[in-house]
């Protein structure tokens, strides 16, 4: 069976978003303030609501809309679930917390939701600085379907990222600090699009440059000729980059830069007459806002491709996507992160429903036990099958499937092949965040 990939989009988000928030590093509260190892929520049989928490960096140095997609998708799912009677007659009560994109704010949210609101679980966590992750784990609160922007979901038990994990998750990140990333995206463009020369654009900033080097290694492992372009973080000269891309005859452009930088790069590419097979972006930028974000770069805009581990939110021929779109039709924009938040809420619901007949009822421990047994979860076909396998050593290679879409004006994001069949046996490269 195809296995889920360690999401390259999440790796990109970690590098690109952190470079925009290098000053947003808060202090940590004492471990004892959050550690309640034996604490659990009491069972309820009287129709009282089931309380869940959603932590989001809704306001942050990155911008107000950067992290809200998973939250909005999860809330839409719970709203629909409540309209249909909830779980065993009990409504889902969502408690939200905006951590402001800082470690201090994140710890505050964790304390509020776990110790004061006594939520059964966290769902669709999307935090720029998940400083409270260890507190969540020590309190044995299941964190379900979160976005792995940092390394927390490859570090701590009781945390279940939306893309799964192969790491031991014993309190040490990955395997002795090393994580792994596959080369499936590069293999796809080489095999399906015939690409041979790729450029990697990064800033002269630590997180951006580190991610750029990882992309470069992956491309070289797949046999590409690689052109590296680094620009100044404060005063990027994208015009010079575009001129060199044209001279080098680049087929693909990958980046380790932020959304605003990407728009500027695309504008420069259009002005320089650069034509590429694909300008490859990640799942966070897989949104309906493309026409506005790239309004001054029509050629580059129509060369945008996105890759991920979830079914294209535009695939309304698929029943589960149709239900998601119907429930979110009131939102101003649609995005892949919204769909993944919807899937996270579905995952929690499956876990909670499994506990309705248990003697203890829907508790943290019961929900966590279900999550620990999770294998091959797909959210009714919205996700590449998710697994948690605590491997003692990282695999040298693995079979990985991916979802691919291309932007076309007038059509939106158009799916390129079936994600359940777009699979490759690829090497796994170690890296450190």
In tens, the pLDDT along 17-26 reads 544 333 333 3
Nearest-angstrom CA–CA distance, 79 and 83: 6
pLDDT category of residue 267 using cuts at 50, 70 and 90: very high
- The pair phi, psi for residue 177, each rounded to 5°, is 90, -10
Burial bucket for residue 415 (CB in 10 Å: 0-12, 13-18, 19+):
middle
pLDDT of residue 427: 96
pLDDT of residue 432: 80
pLDDT of residue 66: 86
pLDDT of residue 371: 97
Identify the residue whose tokens are 């508790």.
363
pLDDT category of residue 114 using cuts at 50, 70 and 90: very high
The residues, ordered by sequence, that sit 6+ positions from 323 with a Cβ below 8 Å of its Cβ are 80
Residue 399 pLDDT > 90, yes or no? Answer: yes
Residue 76 pLDDT > 50, yes or no? Answer: yes
DSSP label at residue 284: G
Q: Kindly write down the DSSP assignment for every residue of 189-206, as one continuous string.
A: HHHHH---EEEEEEESSH
Over residues 289-299, mean pLDDT: 96
Residue 359 pLDDT > 60, yes or no? Answer: yes
pLDDT of residue 282: 85
pLDDT of residue 24: 31
pLDDT of residue 65: 82
pLDDT category of residue 45 using cuts at 50, 70 and 90: low
178-215 pLDDT tens trace:
999 999 999 999 999 999 999 999 999 988 998 899 99
pLDDT of residue 14: 47
Nearest-angstrom CA–CA distance, 41 and 43: 7
Nearest-angstrom CA–CA distance, 401 and 386: 11
For the chain, the average pLDDT equals 90
Q: Is residue 291 within 8 Å of 298, Cβ to Cβ?
A: no
Nearest-angstrom CA–CA distance, 321 and 333: 15
Share of the chain above pLDDT 70, in %: 89
Nearest-angstrom CA–CA distance, 159 and 171: 11
The candidate with the shortest Cα–Cα distance to 93, out of 75, 106, 72, 105, is 75
Nearest-angstrom CA–CA distance, 323 and 118: 30
- The pair phi, psi for residue 266, each rounded to 5°, is -65, -40
Q: How many CB atoms lie within 10 A of CB 67?
A: 28
Identify the residue whose tokens are 């279940």.
160
Nearest-angstrom CA–CA distance, 43 and 65: 36
Q: Is residue 285 within 8 Å of 306, Cβ to Cβ?
A: yes
Residue 102 pLDDT > 90, yes or no? Answer: yes
More confident residue, 282 or 265: 265
The candidate with the shortest Cα–Cα distance to 224, out of 243, 248, 256, is 248
Residue 7 pLDDT > 60, yes or no? Answer: no
311-330 pLDDT tens trace:
999 999 999 999 999 999 99
Residue 41 pLDDT > 80, yes or no? Answer: no
Share of the chain above pLDDT 90, in %: 83
- Give me the helix-helix angle, 206-221 and 184-193, nearest 10°: 50
Residue 384 pLDDT > 60, yes or no? Answer: yes
pLDDT category of residue 44 using cuts at 50, 70 and 90: low
pLDDT category of residue 31 using cuts at 50, 70 and 90: very low
């Amino acid at each position: 069976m195809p296995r889920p990939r360690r999401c390259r989009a999440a790796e990109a988000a970690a590098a690109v978003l952190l470079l925009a928030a290098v000053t947003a590093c808060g202090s940590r509260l004492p471990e004892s303030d959050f550690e309640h190892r034996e604490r659990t929520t009491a069972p309820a049989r009287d129709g009282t609501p089931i309380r869940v928490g959603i932590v989001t960096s809704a306001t942050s140095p990155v911008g107000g809309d950067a992290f809200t997609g998973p939250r909005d998708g999860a809330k839409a799912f719970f709203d629909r679930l409540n309209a249909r009677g909830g779980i065993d007659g009990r409504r889902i009560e969502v408690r939200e917390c905006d951590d402001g994109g800082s470690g201090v704010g994140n710890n505050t949210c964790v304390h509020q939701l776990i110790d004061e609101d006594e939520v059964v679980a966290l769902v669709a966590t999307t935090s720029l600085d998940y400083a409270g992750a260890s507190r969540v784990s020590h309190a044995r609160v299941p964190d379900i379907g979160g976005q792995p922007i940092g390394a927390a979901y490859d570090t701590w038990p009781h945390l279940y990222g939306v893309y799964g994990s192969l790491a031991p998750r014993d309190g040490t990140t990955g395997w002795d600090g090393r994580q792994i990333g596959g080369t499936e995206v590069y293999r796809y463009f080489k095999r399906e699009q015939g690409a041979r020369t790729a450029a990697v654009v990064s800033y002269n900033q630590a997180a951006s440059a580190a991610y750029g080097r990882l992309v470069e290694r992956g491309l070289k492992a797949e046999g590409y000729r690689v052109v590296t372009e680094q620009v100044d973080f404060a005063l990027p000269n994208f015009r010079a980059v575009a001129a060199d891309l044209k001279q080098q005859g680049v087929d693909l452009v990958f980046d380790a830069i932020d959304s605003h930088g990407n728009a500027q790069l695309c504008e420069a590419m259009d002005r320089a007459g650069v034509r590429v097979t694909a300008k490859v972006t990640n799942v966070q930028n897989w949104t309906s806002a493309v026409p506005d974000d790239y309004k001054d770069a029509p050629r580059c805009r129509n060369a945008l491709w996105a890759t991920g581990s979830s079914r294209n939110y535009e695939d309304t021929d698929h029943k589960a996507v149709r239900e998601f779109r119907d429930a979110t039709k009131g939102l101003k924009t649609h995005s892949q992160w919204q769909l993944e938040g919807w899937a996270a809420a579905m995952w929690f619901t499956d876990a909670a429903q499994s506990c309705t007949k248990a003697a203890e009822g829907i508790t943290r421990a019961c929900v966590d036990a279900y999550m620990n047994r999770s294998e091959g979860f797909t959210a009714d076909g919205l996700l590449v099958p998710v697994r948690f396998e605590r491997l003692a050593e990282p695999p040298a290679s693995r079979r990985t499937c991916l979802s691919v879409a291309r932007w076309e004006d007038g059509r939106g994001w158009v799916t390129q092949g079936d994600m359940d069949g777009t699979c490759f046996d690829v090497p796994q490269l170690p890296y450190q965040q």
